[in-house]
């Protein structure tokens, strides 16, 4: 393992190694200017506030999703219910461990299939029709 690291270091070159080491030392010891960056945060306004000119309730509803769910822009499923957030849209298999964090769920499960088929409903195509904001 040490031989592999030594080869990689030699291939990077002495100049690159010097830059990395000097940057890391400078940050660690406080010499690097990145440690002196400060910011003034304005707490007088809410961090997330809706724009004054547009209310979410004013947006047109995409009514097509009320009768037909369209996954990946082409796979249509007729339904009167909201999309199932834990269902593979192609084979109908549900995620067995929906309570786990997303990074723990495998990308491909032999029973479920590709996780992208489950997450597709979360792309918000169903929220609104095209917005003509000017």
Q: What secondary structure letter does DSSP report for 18?
A: H
Cβ atoms of 121 and 69 closer than 8 Å: yes
Cβ atoms of 78 and 67 closer than 8 Å: yes
Quickly state the pLDDT bin for 126 (edges 50, 70, 90). Answer: low
pTM (whole model) above 0.75: no
For 37-70, how does the pLDDT look when each residue is reduced to its tens digit (9 = 90+)? 887 877 777 766 666 665 556 556 666 666 777 7
Check whether 15 has a pLDDT greater than 90.
yes
Which of 92, 96, 88, 132 has the alpha carbon at shortest distance from 114? Answer: 88
What burial class does residue 118 get, using C-beta atoms within 10 Å of its C-beta: 0-12 exposed, 13-18 middle, 19+ buried? buried
């Amino acid at each position: 393992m040490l031989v592999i690291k030594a080869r990689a270091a030699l291939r990077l070159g002495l100049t690159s190694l010097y830059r990395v080491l000097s940057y890391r030392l400078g940050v660690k010891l406080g010499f690097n200017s990145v440690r002196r960056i400060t910011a003034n945060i304005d707490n007088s306004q809410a961090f997330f506030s809706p724009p004054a000119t547009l209310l979410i309730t004013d947006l047109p509803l995409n009514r097509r999703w009320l009768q037909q769910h369209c996954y990946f822009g082409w796979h249509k499923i007729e339904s009167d219910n909201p999309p199932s957030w834990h269902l593979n849209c192609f084979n109908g298999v549900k995620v067995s461990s929906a309570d786990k964090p997303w990074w723990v769920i495998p990308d491909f499960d032999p029973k479920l299939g590709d996780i992208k088929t489950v997450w597709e409903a979360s792309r918000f195509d169903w929220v609104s029709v095209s917005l003509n904001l000017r």
